[in-house]
Structure 1
Amino acid sequence: MEFIEMRDGYEIWYREDPVEKPKGIIVITHGFAEHASRYDHVARHLNRYGYHVVRYDLRGHGRNRDRGHLDRFESYLEDLEEIVGKVAQKYPDVPLITFGHSMGGLITAIFGIENPEMSCAQILSGPALGSLPSAEKLKPGTMKILSQIAGGIKLKNPVGEGICGKRQVYIDYINDPLVLHRASLRLYYQFLFRGVELLGEGAKRYRLPCLVVHGKEDPIVPVEISSWFHEEIPSQKKDLIVYDGLYHEILNEDEWESILRDITDWLG
């Protein structure tokens, strides 16, 4: 694990979990307010299936500076493009798959629209690809103005027990010092409105092979959002798997190993 410097001098925490003769490289982008180390078990499991795994903490998250703040959603896309470019240059002959959960799924999907040549397939887990319940009472125009004049104001992380069906996962989450318990108004605006706007503008141009996995009982990102995306995109290979009884973080539910098996089976 290390910090790598981005084009603008910002340093991002980065980790590779390699295997000998990998069948593919999976670049994982985590969700809002969490961090890459919450995917340790996922990386170990994917390693056993022959995949080299790359993870990093999003700008303003985890071990990075300016925690809880982001000026531009586009910075997430530029960071992912730079990271994937570095990985592809280092391993030019290995297929590269981009994987994103929740807000990371939003980042990954937009990245796929804008850079279809940089990954051979995408996996999206509970992806926040549309208007979320937490944003229903917020007006985009008002939020945009407030984010410009008072963007540094920190607001409480609204994520509750709906994060997972296992209560211990929620307890661990709220006690995790690397989780964001407060985030700036500007970060909320960039995620909930600017990012969703970019996705909506580009969904019809999405062409990559794509697997979307989602918990049916997810109260944070309703499963209908994934259903819409699956129907909207014109990809020739696209699949949606909905898991009955599961919540937002399906890879932290008791069934996580069988879900990863579905993913690796899909990748072939």
Structure 2
Amino acid sequence: MNIENNHARHRHALAGCVMFIALLLAALGTLAEDKPRPRLTDDAVITTDGYRLPLSRWLPDGEPCRVVLGLHGFNDYRETFDNLASHLSADCTAFYAYDHRGFGGTADRGHWPGRARLVNDATNVAELLRARHPGKPLYIVGESMGGAITILTLAQDYPPPVDGAVLLAPGVWTRDVQPWYMRTALWLGIRLAPGLEIPNDLVDVNPSDDPDVLEYWQSHPMVIKRSRIASLYGVANLMDAALAATDHLQQPLLVLYGGADEIIPSGATCGFLERLAQTSADWRFVYYPEGHHQLTRYSGEDQTMADISAWLQSPQAALPFDGQLSLAEARDELCDS
């Protein structure tokens, strides 16, 4: 009798376990169904957590020959690429650019989203573009902060299927080359007043020599005019991480920098090139002596855009303008500046 009772109890326990597992699997399945799938619409990217990133597209007539994803810089937004994207779309290129979280037209404008979110979004959008344009070469163009995000995206253990990248004055101004007073101010600010907003014009630097671009930075409603200390601290961490991740880059790269850049110091770019030279990446460096930080939005923008277009068509081809420097030449030009 006891044996039969034990068997009955075991059967009931087993049935209970099976029921629990079935309910658990059903619940997990429901959660999986409720989780948004990343997707592209005509004017937005819907991310894995359901967040909406405003999207702009510049498409060629007919089937594109290649696809470019543009990642904008700090306090900027996606339409900053209009010059370059319009130029490239006339040259058989489909160009896409979205607003990073915390910038442009996103819901959390002015708030730093965190490095992981920025990289995850870039990864997801690159994968979506690859799926939308199968068989077409896919490149990233990253400007300033967008260049730092590009580096971190491509340096992952499992990077998205990108064929190469153009880095426009990449954000690699790390703490070890920043002035001591800047490091100290950030260290104190993040601890004492992370929400304090600093006017952008507190520091007299210009990203361009084009009066229209300078007016854009002063008055365009999508440009952030005051930066929270938490955001400044976040972008400083992002740049530190980008330089450290450079060791893991393997994709073809075109690095562009201007001699009149008032945002990213030449010493920071020099340090990045020294680090890049130790990798297996096939990289090329082009220097524009009169170039400003926004290399596709200044008086010499035609040179920059022609070089980018030529490189996208063939990363090994000769570039239209004679600005390419070897590492030794870049050291002479930048490292002692």
Q: Which of these residues, 309, 317, 328, is aligned with residue 264 of structure 1?
A: 309
Q: Does residue 49 of structure 2 align to residue 8 of structure 1?
A: yes
- Unaligned stretches of 5+ in structure 2? 1-41, 315-337
User: Does the aligned pair in 1 maintain the 2:173–2:265 contact within 8 Å?
Assistant: no
Which is worse superposed, 215-224 or 161-170?
161-170
Per-residue deviation, residues 176-206 of structure 1 (Å, max 9, x unmatched): 11100012221111101x2122123221111
Separation of aligned partners in 1, 2:128 and 2:283:
27
Other-structure match for 1:252: 297
Q: Does the residue aligned with 1:49 lie in a helix, a strand or coil?
A: coil
Q: Which consecutive unaligned segments of at least 5 residues does structure 1 have?
A: none
Question: What SS is found at the alignment partner of 1:221?
Answer: coil
**Which amino acid in 2 is paired with 1:22?**
P
- Identify which of 198, 209, 231 aligns with 2:274: 231
Shift of 1:82: 1.2
Q: Show the counterpart of 2:130.
A: 88
Report the Cα distance in structure 2 between the residues aligned to 1:191 and 1:5, rounded to whole angstroms. Answer: 24
Fraction of identical pairs, as percent: 22
Is this contact kept in 2: 1:105–1:126, CA < 8 A? yes
User: Does the 8 Å contact 1:148/1:186 carry over to 2?
Assistant: no
* 1:208 to 2:246 alignment: no
Aligned mates of 1:181, 1:135 — CA distance in 2: 23
CA contact (8 A) 2:253 2:281 kept: no
Q: Distance in 2 between matches of 1:144 and 1:94?
A: 45
In the alignment, does 2:116 pair up with 1:74? yes
TM-score by length of 2: 0.73
Q: What is the aligned partner in structure 2 of residue 22 from structure 1?
A: 64
Does residue 107 of structure 1 match 2:149? yes
- SS of 2:69's equivalent? strand
Q: Is the 8 A contact 2:243 2:272 kept in 1?
A: no
State the 1:80 CA deviation. Answer: 0.6
Q: State how many pairs are aligned.
A: 266
Q: What amino acid sits opposite 2:48 in the alignment?
A: R
Moved more, 100-109 or 228-237: 228-237
Report matched runs for 1:172-211 at 5 Å.
Answer: 172-192=216-236, 194-211=237-254
| Alignment-mate amino acid for residue 65 of structure 1 | A
Deviations 1:207-229 (A, max 9, x none): 11100111111111023323322
Task: State the partner residue of 2:11.
Answer: none
* Residue matched to 2:97: 55
Higher relative contact order (CA 8 A, sep 6+): 1
Q: CA deviation at 1:236?
A: 4.1
Alignment map for 1:163-174 (pairs within 5 Å): 163-174=207-218
CA drift at 1:136: 4.6
Give, in whole Å, the separation in 2 of the partners of 1:7 and 1:147: 29
1:239 counterpart letter in structure 2: R
Give the Cα separation in 1 of the matches to 2:127 and 2:188.
35
Contact 2:58 2:94 in 1 (8 A): yes
Q: CA separation of 1:172/1:149 partners in 2, compared to 1, >3 Å: closer, same or farther?
A: same
Using the size of structure 1 for normalisation, the TM-score is 0.91
- 1:39 matched residue in structure 2: 81
C-alpha distance in 2 between matches for 1:81 and 1:245: 33
Q: Report how far residue 163 of structure 1 moved.
A: 0.9
